[in-house]
Amino acid sequence: MIKRQCICVIGAGGKTSLIRLLMDKYKDRKVIVSTTVHMERPACMLVEKEDVNQVQRALMHENVIACVHGSLRGVTGFTKECLRQLYPLCDLMLIEADGNHNHPFKVDRDHEPSLVDFMTLGIAVLSMSAYGQSFAEAAYPAAFSAEYCQCKINDPIDEAAFIKAAKQLISRFNKTASCLLLTHCSKQTAAAARAIRMALDVEVIIWWEGEKEYEENNLCL
């Protein structure tokens, strides 16, 4: 990583896992984790007061911190304006910027995602575990996602649906650099994942089921 980065992660089926991996990968740099929606409680030092000086002091003792408001069920993030003020303090800011209610597939509604305007990279995530399942089973929100993909709610999620959803998610980043991450890819879904990659004009990273890391070359920020 040669410059300061703010990465916003959206979509469904692996956002938190990706953020955890990047937290570990860049644990020797100054990293701030937060969310503009809600997320699982990060496994690092939590700073819960929206105070620049307190965050600065925390980064003097810890490389990786989370700037969130905690609860037993999860955490919410600091305001976007506060995150903007904190950004110069770190080398990498990781923001979970979309909700999916633990579903592996989603299409964003008009008010989603909740991005910050200083992001430098957007990563959209979709899980190949949704492939072949119905929208009712695997999509969030189910009816909206099915309608957007020109399907019925009990139709299976196929390659065409993945391509439509991926294009819509990527479009949310406008002109900011972006890529798509397909998680939980197996031998059964490999051909579909490669077809999806071929149909898109952005970088598509495939994370194979059971692998503990993404390919190193694809994580050089």
CATH of 5-219, one of 3.40.50, 3.30.70, 3.40.390, 1.10.3470: 3.40.50
Q: What is the DSSP string of 130-172?
A: GTTSBHHHHEETHHHHHHHTT--TTSB--HHHHHHHHHHHHHT
The tokens describing 75, both together, are 């955490």
Residue 21 CB: number of other CB atoms within 10 A? 16
- Find the helix or strand (DSSP H, E) in which 190 lies: helix 190-199
Q: Specify the pLDDT at position 100.
A: 87
The residue extents of the domains of the chain are: 5-219
pLDDT averaged per 10 residues, the chain (length 221): 88 94 96 96 94 97 95 87 98 95 95 97 98 98 98 98 98 96 94 96 89 45 42
Q: Specify the pLDDT at position 22.
A: 96
Give alpha helix (H) positions in 15-152. Answer: 15-25, 52-61, 80-86, 135-138, 142-148
